[in-house]
Structure 1
């Protein structure tokens, strides 16, 4: 019986996705909803990873409609669903969400997504000794760059990005950090309390 229900869920998702493709050009908003429904059907059946491509397709329709915020929201939703079952795919969706905002000139809105993506990356590494990771030069430079953004310190951002470790490290945190804007970052400046929470080494989220 369970196998039958799983098969039925898969068929429902396939049918919804097929209908969504048909509607993409004639009724894009309805198409997006069908894609999301198809994702929901897969998630309810425990097949979250199969929803990866559908979230990206739904987002492409949002982009055509020039609705970058909704596109980013859809990608972030998919990323959250995939965090535990497919963390690498989740990170990619977070990166795509940042890209959607940046292409629309909304770099500052990508900041929170950057933080979430880095936390997923850290979890993905599965460090046996978190303290050892926190003491690494890579983490020090990554935090230095992130701190510069929270303080709105343009000069420190420039110095941090010129670090040899930042320049040469093939590291997801650095790849994400490079996506942050390097111009007017005053909007990132936080009060002392928020900054302390952000840099709390015991809180990797």
Structure 2
């Protein structure tokens, strides 16, 4: 089908959605079918701009005839085309709208997937929250990991660690102990890579309040790492970074661990020594 034919379909469909003296009701069902045909034709001809517009209108049509699932699918198609065109604001808006439409269908998984496809990392949070609210935390595990990886690439290490901690909480609810412990160890490694020893230590102490982590191999690994940092022992840090507990983490975290230590270990050693309270000879208790 030539572009001129697709253009005619769009014109005809537009007329069917507009009221006039001779048309008192819009014929969205027929118009939607025409928009869909035009969208396919434009995409086949690689006219992405017009294909995007046609899918937008087809989505609106499906929504008007009470078919949110098909409306969401068309909106995702429009988002994909907007991405190819470099229209990043539209990409975000379209995927967000697709997610809303999927949620109208009661479909939490595709709703979160639609948000996850948006390259704006802020939407990963919303994608995870959708599944959390629906009590389907286990479905969000890959989203947590992907979001954390993106944040690492952006050098937003606090955000990356936060997503691993959220993964740990979600895994706890699902009794996924192995995933939980790996997530906590990953967060500690990220803090160490960012040369934030105090936060790594705090993270370790907080996570160790959880029995599953306290008795895990990952806890032992984290404890060895932190002890090596306190002692300023770079060789021990490198040895622990090649241990089996770390080798079973996500590849992004393994790469960070293998680059440890970062920063000046002597500063950390001094901080650790300063934190030790001096012995009070008058206190015999």
Question: Same fold by TM (over 0.5)?
Answer: yes
Q: CA deviation at 1:100?
A: 1.2
Contact 2:191/2:200, CA 8 A, preserved across alignment = no
1:35 paired with 2:89, answer: no
Residue 151 of structure 2 aligns with which residue?
A: 121
1:105 paired with 2:131, answer: no
Closer, same or farther: CA 11–152 of 1 in aligned 2, 3 Å: farther
Larger radius of gyration: 2
Contact 1:134/1:140, CA 8 A, preserved across alignment = no
Query: TM-score, structure 2 length as denominator?
Result: 0.43
Bigger RCO of structures 1 and 2 (CA < 8 A, at least 6 apart)? 1
Closer, same or farther: CA 71–132 of 1 in aligned 2, 3 Å: same
Q: 1:197 aligns with which of 229, 249, 258?
A: 249
Residue 175 of structure 1 aligns with which residue?
A: none
Query: TM-score, structure 1 length as denominator?
Result: 0.57
Residue 11 of structure 1 aligns with which residue?
A: 50
Closer, same or farther: CA 67–200 of 1 in aligned 2, 3 Å: same
| Per-residue deviation, residues 146-187 of structure 1 (Å, max 9, x unmatched) | 977xx943999xxxxxxxxxxxxxxxxxxxxxxxxxxxxxxx
| Per-residue deviation, residues 38-86 of structure 1 (Å, max 9, x unmatched) | 112122323345311100100001111111011112222x23xx2xxxx
Q: 1:75 aligns with which of 115, 133, 151?
A: 115
Residue 166 of structure 1 aligns with which residue?
A: none
Residue 62 of structure 2 aligns with which residue?
A: 23
1:140 paired with 2:200, answer: yes
Taking only aligned residues, the RMSD between alpha carbons, in angstroms, comes to: 3.9
Task: Name the count of aligned residue pairs.
Answer: 150
94-103 vs 106-115, which moves further: 106-115
Closer, same or farther: CA 147–132 of 1 in aligned 2, 3 Å: closer
